[in-house]
Amino acid sequence: PTVSTTTVNTSYGASDIRLFEPNDGIILGTVVTVHPWSFLGGGEHNTIGLARNISTKGWRVITFTLKSTPLYLGGAIGGILFRHYREVNHITEIVEWAFEHYHKNDASDQHMVLLGSSAGAPFAGSAMAKIQQQQQAKIAAFIAVGYTFGKLASLGFGRHFSSVVGNSASTFCGSSSLATEVEGEAPPQYFLMGENDEFTSVDQLDSMVARMKSVNPSRKVDIEIVPRVGHFQLESPSYDSFVSDKVVQWLGDAIL
C-alpha cells in the first residue's frame, strides 16, 4: 500500500493520522481504526498491521493515536470509570474529517467503516451513535474485534453498550434534545472474538447480540468466534493477517 501522513485539527489539538491506500487506485471505501485503550497498553501500533493488510484488499485505512482522558483527572481507576467523552469525541471528529475529504461529494462511495479493537470497540460504538445523531457523516458498517462486553469490563465500559445494542446514545453524547437512533438505519455490525477471550465469554456475546436483534429484528449482526484463541492473541501481530482477511470478507458480503 501507499502510506502517507497528514494532520487533522481537532478539539483536542492536532492529530497526526496515517493513511494506507491501495497501490492500484481502486478504493472500495474508508476504514477508520480505533486502537485498544492506551491505559491498558494499547496504541496506534496495534492497528498498523491491520491497516497494511486491509489496504492491500482495496480499502483506504486510517490509523491514529486516540486522545484519552488524562490520568490526572482521577488516576488510573478514575480514567477507567470516566465517561470517555474525550475518546468518543476524538473518534467522531476523525471520522467526520475522513467523510468530508473522501465521501461527502461522491454519492456512489458512502462506505465509511468504523473498526474498534478491544476497549477501542466500545468507544468506536459510541462514536458511531453520535455520528448518526449529528448526521455529519454516515457509517456503513461497524466492526468490533474483541469487544469488552464481560461483567468485569462493564464496570469501565458498560456505559457504551447501549450504543451498539440499539438504544440511543443521546444522554452519553450530551444531546438529550436529539431524537433517538432510528433503528431501521442501524448499520450492519460484525463481532470477531476469540473463544477464550479473557474479558467476554461466548455466552455473554451471544446474549448481547440477542438483545440487539430483539430491539431491531431486521438489523444485520454477525458473530465469528475464533477457536482456542484469547483476547490478547487476537489483537497481536501474529493474527493481523487472519483478522484482516475476516474483516475484508465480511465487508464484501455485508455492504459491497
Q: Is 223 helix (H, G, I), strand (E, B) or coil?
A: strand
pLDDT at residue 228, as a whole number: 97
pLDDT at residue 33, as a whole number: 97
Pairing of strands 30-34, 60-64: parallel
CB contact at 8 A, 6 and 88: no
pLDDT at residue 132, as a whole number: 83
pLDDT at residue 198, as a whole number: 92
pLDDT at residue 87, as a whole number: 86
Q: How far apart are CA 213 and CA 124, in angstroms?
A: 20
Q: What is the mean pLDDT of each run of 10 residues along the chain (256 residues)?
A: 95 93 89 82 87 96 84 48 74 94 72 92 88 84 87 60 58 36 70 95 92 86 97 94 98 93
- In Å, the largest CA–CA distance within the chain is 48
pLDDT at residue 206, as a whole number: 93
pLDDT at residue 186, as a whole number: 80
CA nearest to 42, candidates 232, 200, 197, 191: 232
pLDDT at residue 183, as a whole number: 43
Cell (9 digits) for 31: 476504514
Cell (9 digits) for 226: 475464533
CB contact at 8 A, 254 and 190: yes
pLDDT at residue 71, as a whole number: 53
CB contact at 8 A, 124 and 160: no
Cell (9 digits) for 68: 484519552
Residue keyed to cell 494499547: 42
202 to 34, 89, 158, 228: CA distances (angstroms): 23, 30, 17, 12
56 to 52, 139, 159: CA distances (angstroms): 7, 22, 35
